[in-house]
Structure 1
């Protein structure tokens, strides 16, 4: 199900550390220890207080055991989900429990370089609110990964009006206030820079290093690109029509009425000029039925998105369910997740 970006609130006090690094992981047991071995020294070198939050998205390998081992360092905090619910939900859980003034999400597969975090923070110090990483020299297969990504980035930039070269790069840096007040669903995490820019945030992009994956398998594919495009349509719709849906419904209704009038005029023309009775030509009925079906499908889809938003927020439900938490003061919240 494609869900949407919607107002919400964080569950922890902010400002107790300077930087929170969020790392969603799924079946990355071979990458946990090497990643921590490179990440912790890089963060120590910043001269700022920090925390690292791993969100284990229902891994079925030894990821949870590896996370428990590295959590012997109290600066590493771990959230284990009961089941796999996706990267966006994992990111949202990390944001909910982060304490940093700056939030830096990154991948857990060692393809992002922890040394680039210093550069992202330096850009924030220049006055930017969001700094987005750009994998200018991608180390992925061109045909199945890089080319679809370039096409998707171009499409997203064109539709949103926010020009970025690499929306899919997880490595970014946000001032905390840019992430507060919203909930993320579907594949919406990659669109946060768009929404922040629409809200007036100062946004920039910075080239970052990208390394080949050494362990495990990529979780990305062409199917995910299609989901991203559909989510972009939802973001665009909600931003423009969230408080005035009558505009899009009204425009569609007027279009339907206009086509109906044209079909009626053509039917009258056939009757008067060619002497063809209304009941003898199926064209007006077929055109009308096709248009009505198409319009109704689109409208029902958009209406369903709004209804899903109302349902989730009114029920206080979450798309993730936490099993255990390590190095957190608060106990795991009551399980209020949505069941399949």
Structure 2
């Protein structure tokens, strides 16, 4: 059983580490995952803790996590959701609970190798980065269903957002705690965490490194080709919040002005046809299109004003979104694995 020092003291160590792992329907991976994490961190020379989030699994993952946590000691903390909220909510709960100066994340399917974590911590500190992203250069997944859609998505995300990384989908990442805790995750934002991090730190302080990747041994993948379409929608939302999150009136207003100018030009032409050429315009399709454009313009402009009001209200209130979760382990009793 590891020693449990004062829970406030490890936070003073710049290498103190919290490992956050969300899990859903991974009962067969629980025991080997915890064994590999402890093997990988056996020589880590700073306090560390392991935070496991059961995202409403129905296959016995939650009880198995609790059993393994009791076996390994109080540095293993378990959070259980009452129902399935999704990976983003699970990661946010883990970030909120983390006490280390550094935070590592990885998937619970054993495809990420925990042995990469100590090396990535050293690299992040040596390169003075705020985020170090894993790159599954030799990815052990199906070519058609996973690799090709992922490559297309990575290039598209980099081109749209300006944050150019090879592998956005790799969950193995190392963060500085003070940076990632400034980002609030909701929806399915976990796919674009580097994009959101770019909103609180410079892209130059984000890097990537090649990591190991293994074929899935137990369980089944929770992702398929249908995820590609959701990624496109999430990318649009990410682009909007990254560029216009603090000034939504500019986004809606710009589009509204374009429609308004087109509608005004159409109306001007129709007025010239009516009063200069003396022709009847009542049945012309262009008249209805011009009216539609003007109405759309007014709607977009008023939407921009309302969005500005809501945005300013949100920033003024400083309120945050909270998820209803059930804590299985008591955070007051949780300890840290002592440095070896």
For the aligned pair, the TM-score class normalised by the smaller chain equals 0.7 to 0.9
Q: Say if 2:28 and 2:218, in contact at 8 Å, map to a contact too.
A: yes
Aligned to 1:335: none
Q: Secondary structure at the match of 1:54?
A: strand
Per-residue Cα deviation, 1:141-188 (whole angstroms, up to 9, x for no partner): 111111111111111100110100110100000011111223100121
Deviation for aligned residue 1:237: 2.1
Counterpart in the other structure of 1:200:
202
Where 1:79 maps in the other structure, the secondary structure is strand
d(CA) in 2 for partners of 1:16, 1:236: 36
Q: In structure 2, what is the equivalent of residue 234 of structure 1?
A: 237
Q: Report deviation, 1:63.
A: 0.3
Tell me the equivalent position of 1:15: 11
Which runs of 5 or more structure 1 residues have no equivalent in the other structure? Answer: 1-11, 332-340
The Cα shift of 1:291 comes to 7.8
Distance 1:259 1:136 in 2: 48
Residues 305 and 69 from structure 1, CA distance in 2 versus in 1: closer, same or farther, beyond 3 angstroms?
farther
Query: Residue in 2 aligned with 1:33?
Result: 31
* TM-score in terms of structure 1 length: 0.83
Q: 1:222 aligns with which of 220, 225, 240?
A: 225
Change (3 A) 1:250 1:153: same
* Counterpart-to-counterpart distance in 2, 1:286 and 1:278: 12
Which shows bigger deviation, 159-168 or 295-304?
Answer: 295-304
CA distance in 2, matches of 1:165, 1:76: 32
Report deviation, 1:253: 2.6
Distance 1:223 1:303 in 2: 34
Q: What count of residue pairs does the alignment treat as equivalent? A: 320
* Superposition RMSD in Å: 3.1
Report the counterpart of residue 88 of structure 2 in structure 1: 88
Asked if 2 retains the 8 angstrom alpha-carbon contact of 1:103 and 1:176, the reply is: yes
Deviations 1:204-239 (A, max 9, x none): 110111111111111112333333332332233223
2:4 matched to which residue of 1? none
Deviations 1:123-156 (A, max 9, x none): 1121121100011111111111111111111111
8 Å Cα contact 1:58-1:84 kept in structure 2: yes
Unaligned runs of 5+ in 2: 1-6, 335-340
How many angstroms apart in 1 are the aligned matches of 2:58 and 2:308? 31
Provide, for residues 84-122 of structure 1, a one-character-per-residue CA deviation record: whole Å limited to 9, x for no partner. Answer: 010000000000001111100100000001111122112
Residue 305 of structure 1 deviates from its aligned partner by: 11
1:119 corresponds in structure 2 to 119
TM-score under structure 2 length normalisation: 0.83
CA distance in 2, matches of 1:139, 1:174: 25
Question: CA shift at 1:245, angstroms?
Answer: 2.7
CA distance in 1, matches of 2:190, 2:251: 26
Q: What is the match of residue 110 of structure 1?
A: 110
Distance 2:163 2:115 in 1: 27
Matched, 1:249 2:249: no
CA distance in 1, matches of 2:156, 2:301: 20
| 1:265 aligns to 2:268 (yes or no) | yes
Distance 1:293 1:217, change over 3 A: farther
- Alignment equivalent of 2:285, drawn from 282, 285, 288: 282
Whichever of the two has the greater Rg, that structure is 2
The alpha-carbon distance between structure 1 residues 200 and 39, as it changes in their structure 2 partners (threshold 3 A), is same
Quote how far apart the aligned CAs of 1:246 are. 2.8
State the match for 2:337 in structure 1: none
Compared CA separation, residues 290 and 268, structure 1 to 2 (3 A)? closer
